Structure 1
Amino acid sequence: MSSSPSLATEDSVTSKRSSIGLQMVCNADCVISNVVAKWPGSVHDSRIFRASEIYQCLSQGEFSGVLLGDRGYGCQPFLLTPFTDPQEAQQAYNHAHARTRARVEMTFGLLKARFHCLHKLRVSPVRACDITVACAVLHNVACLRKERAPRVPPAMDWDNPAIFPDDDSGRLLRDQYVLNYFS
């Protein structure tokens, strides 16, 4: 599971007292492969994901593979989430899932550590979104050039209950991962 891209959304920047929801997909090297910065911070993670282009492509089978998301998302065949009340093998899955997903949370931390302006922008929300995406691009350039990353505080558990229910086929796929790799 260590090569699976991870998905996360967080209130990334504050702009004139409004927060901007930032959705990111990154790999184990903290390189960002997808970023969406256009939603108010009050919009739920699952809503941002369901309206995103990557969701459309994944749900229509245009991309293969799976993303890992926290409990704020419903389990889908292309988006695996942790078990809420795990049994023994499911606990091992949840542990591997959390360790893998930690990379996206670390990437948020790296982005904010590398670009301190993201902590408090004094620009319009539209401009804040543009700046955030530009910072994500520059972060990727720094990663590809192997620039030394700034120090980041330890990751926190950002899981929250899903408002969109799990998909049956997503649960079946997640169960198959547990059976194949964690039992």
Structure 2
Amino acid sequence: MKYLLLYIECSELSFINFAGDHNGLLLGGSGYPCRSFLMTPFLNPQGDARCRFNESLCHTRVLIEQTFGILKRRFQILHYEMDVQPNQAVVNTVASAVLHNIGIIRGDIINNESSTDPDNDNDTAPQHNGIQDGSTMREHIVQNYFS
């Protein structure tokens, strides 16, 4: 996942977010810099609101990782490294999600076991200690939704 987020940060999506044309956020681990479009946990949260923010971010990331795990188990094309251009990888991923949703609608249930532990944030990337240009956005979120 580290490489996907690094690619996204350097891609056109990054420029779209900086221009304000895209309404949304990416979630990252503590190894990533906090950006206006990429929310990361506080390294040393002080106060209940920041702790709640970190907990919420961690639990949300776990749900996303579990969803990717379900898709990877169901569609083997996603399980292995794709030897395709990034645009085609997006098409493959979206098509897998659409087919998965059709399967859910039709009652095609798959085993949803996952070994992801919400209390275990296994970021392998080193912690980022550089410029935190997303810290204002993160503080805004903490003050408006976690205080």
**TM-score, shorter chain, exceeding 0.5:** yes
Who is 1:171 aligned against? 135
Q: Deviations over 1:98-149 (max 9, x none)?
A: 111222211221122112454457xx8338x957852541232222452424
Q: Which residue of 1 aligns with 2:98?
A: 140
Distance 1:120 1:177 in 2: 36
Which residue of 50, 54, 74 corresponds with 1:90?
Answer: 50
1:72 aligns with 2:31: yes
Identify the structure with the greater strand proportion.
1
Which position in structure 1 is the counterpart of 2:9? Answer: 50
Shift of residue 77 of structure 1? 1.6
Structure with the bigger percentage of helix:
2
Structure 2 stretches lacking a partner, 5+ long: none
Unaligned runs of 5+ in 1: 1-8, 11-20, 24-44
Q: TM-score, normalised by structure 1?
A: 0.61
Aligned match of 1:35: none
Please state how far the C-alpha of 1:72 moved relative to its aligned partner.
2.8
Specify the alignment match of 1:106 in structure 2: 66
Once residues 91 and 59 of structure 1 are traced to their aligned partners in structure 2, the CA distance between those partners, rounded to angstroms, is 27
Alignment RMSD (CA, Å): 3.0
Aligned pair count reads 138
Change (3 A) 1:114 1:166: farther
> Aligned runs of 1:36-47 on 2, under 5 Å?
45-46=5-6
- Counterpart-to-counterpart distance in 2, 1:138 and 1:68: 21
Question: CA–CA distance in 2 between the matches of 1:136 and 1:55?
Answer: 19
Q: 1:75 to 1:106 in 2, by over 3 A?
A: same
TM-score relative to the length of structure 2: 0.73
